[in-house]
Amino acid sequence: MDRGVRLGIDPGDARIGVASSDPSGFLATPVETVARGDGDLDRLAAIIGELEAVVAYVGLPKSLSGREGPAAGRVREFARELAARLDPVPVRLFDERLSTVTAESNLRSVGKKGKKRRAVVDQAAAVVILQGALDTERSMGAAPGELVSAH
């Protein structure tokens, strides 16, 4: 894989969690939470430009059995819109099963409670998604997930 910052994106109905990696693609860290709605794609495009990201991994929600429900359909549409905005930066869908559950558990274990936890859980979920993609990328030697067409 090429050197460069990778982005992890956890698109929720109300907020979008964003995480980034170091240029070597080894460690994911939180960036920010973007409010869903007008201007959200503009902000994501700005973050990608500011960080000079080489790929964006968008978490695709699947059930434990691997099936896709209505939430996955909304994420696929979001990813298509994002890919059109970011072209030529690739957008890839990455299986995010249990990312929010893992993020919540991690935040509880370090003592984050209530509003404080809700304020950062989207970023923490994006970190879990991105770290999974980075680990898979390293073990495979190629970008994991499903490439989203910009057209």
* Amino acid making up residue 4: G
**Residue 1 falls inside a structural domain:** no
How many angstroms separate the CA atoms of 100 and 77, rounded? 20
**Residue 105 falls inside a structural domain:** yes
> Token digits for 83?
């890919």
**Residue 151 falls inside a structural domain:** no
CATH code of residue 60:
3.30.420.140
Per DSSP, what are the bridge partners of residue 148? none
**Residue 148 falls inside a structural domain:** no
Tell which residue, 106, 33, 113, 97, has the closest CA to residue 65.
97
Quote the number of domains for the chain: 1
**Residue 112 falls inside a structural domain:** yes
**Total-model pTM:** 0.88
**125: containing domain:** 6-141
- CA 52 to chain centroid, in Å, comes to 16
**Residue 149 falls inside a structural domain:** no
The pLDDT tens digits of the residues spanning 42-64 come to: 999 999 999 999 999 999 998 77
pLDDT tens sequence for the chain (151 residues): 679 999 999 999 999 999 999 999 999 999 999 999 999 999 999 999 999 999 999 999 987 777 888 999 999 999 999 999 999 999 999 988 655 555 556 656 666 555 554 557 788 889 999 999 999 999 999 999 999 998 7
